[in-house]
Amino acid sequence: MEKQVFDFGMNTTRRHFLSKMSLGIGSAALGSLLVPDIFKGGEADPSDIIAGLPHFAPKAKRIIYLFQNGAPSQLDLFDYKPMLNKMHGEELPESIRGGQRLTGMTANQASFPLAGSMFNFKQHGKSGAWISELLPYTAGIVDDLCFVKSLNTDAINHDPALTFFQTGAQVGNRPSMGAWLSYGLGSENKNLPGYCVLLSRGKGNGQGVYSKLWTNGFLDSVHQGVQFSSGENPVLYLGDPEGMDRTQRRNMLDKLAELNQGTLDEFGDPEIATKIQQYEMAFRMQTAVPEITDMSKEPESIVKLYGPECLVPGTYAANCLLARKLSEQGVRFIQLYHQGWDGHGKLPQEIRGQCMDSDQASAALVTDLKQRGLLDETLVIWGGEFGRTNYCQGKLEKDDYGRDHHPRAFTVWMAGGGIKPGMVYGETDEFGYNIVKNPVHVHDFHATILNQMGLDHEKLVFKHQGRRYRLTDVAGKIVKDIIA
């Protein structure tokens, strides 16, 4: 037997060995063609997931989200309820409230007197949408807008509701909508961040805005929102220091990138790659940002359109104008926050001021995008984190009332980006308290927005700590009726 083995070994020639080998390799090669991933090893490369996006051709390329922070009163702006005026001062019927929860601020109130809006409503445009006299400019563009009157959310207080709206979860640390979009679609313009945040403050009762609202969460930090400064220079520390010219800066960055690359090769920490990218982007931003703040390329009528406040840095109007310029430059997601809508008391007085800030500039933004042929590909969204109650918080007086938080029904408008223009969707009961037709939950709203951006909300996932996460968690239906 031993001899046979020996003989076999001796008789196996190199030619024989190689020809057998090639057959074996051939079969393995054929096999690998049939099982494509077999030699890929381990986890799927995350860049492959990204390469598969967008899932389908997007209607909207960019989003400008005009967040009215603090929750504007839908009952004084959009959701016209004559019944409330008729029953002004009477008690909110229990059959309407149905024992639903209230905030700690009014839960112990002895009575819940209904408060009709002080402001006159009129129907506007072909869609016949009801708009209050507080928003004359918005009323002028209703046929470009889609009002969703049946938005509803889970949270009843500002922080969780804001966090829910921005990240799809009430607890913090999940990636925000803009971060998801940056992750899913990348940046359009490589010279500017893909996700910018602009803050402004009205005179009304304000609520905080925190950087967790534009966090990247567990996504790569390159997807984080970049907050622009409200001063004359929206991006700080961008200029070269005195005595350093562009070439020197370039050389310095090249050297630095070389060092960083070395460390990256050694340790493979993706954060180092992010760092390299961001230095490069900052270098390009040095020429891109001045172009954005430059007013000389804007026709004079722009100031009249947005109102003169748009020349005052840090105002809502200036931010709207800046948002338009950024979006024109390919920034994927521009998030504005305008504070001051939290009308618990003195609502009529406060909301007047807030509308003065917001009305003209918001409408101007839509008009401006439209006249540039960009409204079709830019989705503009206007709305707060929840609505306000139909009953009065505190004492109901002849010309004064306050409204508490109301998460069960509120109004948001959208324009452009493949959303049907001139439409009113959803309906509340005659007390404006409960939704009676076509409710749209925040998850549905997110699903619809992602859909407009060419993303399937069920497929845009990120695996973190053993679980796959989505912006819409495990819910969300696309609101097909409002899609053009």
Question: Cα separations (Å) of 447 from 66, 120, 264, 281, 474?
Answer: 18, 35, 37, 31, 11
| Residue in 373, 465, 466, 468 binding another protein, rule: CB under 8 A | 373
Determine if 220 is a binding residue for another protein (CB under 8 A): no
In the complex, the smallest distance separating the C-beta of residue 278 from another protein, rounded to whole angstroms, is 14
Question: 58 to 87, contacts with another protein by CB under 8 A?
Answer: 58
| Residue in 133, 220, 458, 481 binding another protein, rule: CB under 8 A | 481
In the complex, the smallest distance separating the C-beta of residue 274 from another protein, rounded to whole angstroms, is 17
In the complex, the smallest distance separating the C-beta of residue 324 from another protein, rounded to whole angstroms, is 12
Q: List b or e across 306-339, with b for residues whose CB sees 16 or more CB atoms inside 10 angstroms.
A: bbebbeebbbbbbbbbbbbbbbbbbbbbbbbbbb
424-453 footprint of another protein as x/- string (CB under 8 A) = ---------------------------x--
In the complex, the smallest distance separating the C-beta of residue 468 from another protein, rounded to whole angstroms, is 20
Task: With beta carbons less than 8 A apart as the criterion, state whether 277 and 260 touch.
Answer: no
Q: Segment contacting another protein (CB under 8 A): 49-57, 220-228, 269-277, 404-412?
A: 49-57
Q: Residue length, the chain?
A: 484
- 9 vs 373, which CB is nearer to another protein? 373
| Residue in 190, 246, 395, 459 binding another protein, rule: CB under 8 A | 190
CA angle 54, 160, 355 (to 5 degrees): 85
Question: Cα separations (Å) of 151 from 247, 385, 422, 433?
Answer: 53, 10, 18, 12
The Cα–Cα gap between 330 and 291 comes to: 13
Task: With beta carbons less than 8 A apart as the criterion, state whether 378 and 66 touch.
Answer: no
| Residue in 305, 326, 379, 415 binding another protein, rule: CB under 8 A | 305
Determine if 126 is a binding residue for another protein (CB under 8 A): no
Q: Segment contacting another protein (CB under 8 A): 205-213, 261-269, 332-340, 368-376?
A: 368-376
Determine if 136 is a binding residue for another protein (CB under 8 A): no
The Cα–Cα gap between 227 and 205 comes to: 22
The packing angle between helices 177-185 and 442-452, to 10°, is: 30
| Residue in 38, 56, 98, 269 binding another protein, rule: CB under 8 A | 56
- 26 vs 52, which CB is nearer to another protein? 52
Q: Segment contacting another protein (CB under 8 A): 51-59, 103-111, 261-269, 407-415?
A: 51-59
| Residue in 20, 372, 395, 463 binding another protein, rule: CB under 8 A | 372
- 423 vs 471, which CB is nearer to another protein? 423
Determine if 367 is a binding residue for another protein (CB under 8 A): yes
Q: State the virtual CA torsion across 265, 270, 274, 275 in degrees, nearest 10.
A: -60
* Burial of 41 (C-beta count, 10 Å sphere; 0-12/13-18/19+): exposed
The Cα–Cα gap between 298 and 302 comes to: 7
For β-strands 387-392 and 403-406, DSSP reports them as antiparallel
Determine if 364 is a binding residue for another protein (CB under 8 A): yes
Question: 328 to 347, contacts with another protein by CB under 8 A?
Answer: 328-330
Determine if 105 is a binding residue for another protein (CB under 8 A): no
Return all residues near 236 (Cβ < 8 A) that are at least 6 apart: 229
Determine if 276 is a binding residue for another protein (CB under 8 A): no
Question: Cα separations (Å) of 274 from 29, 219, 281, 427, 450?
Answer: 38, 12, 10, 46, 25
User: Which residues in this chain contact another protein in the complex, by CB under 8 A?
Assistant: 51-58, 188-191, 284, 287-288, 291, 295-297, 299-305, 307-309, 311-312, 328-330, 364, 367-368, 370-374, 376, 451, 454, 478, 480-481, 483
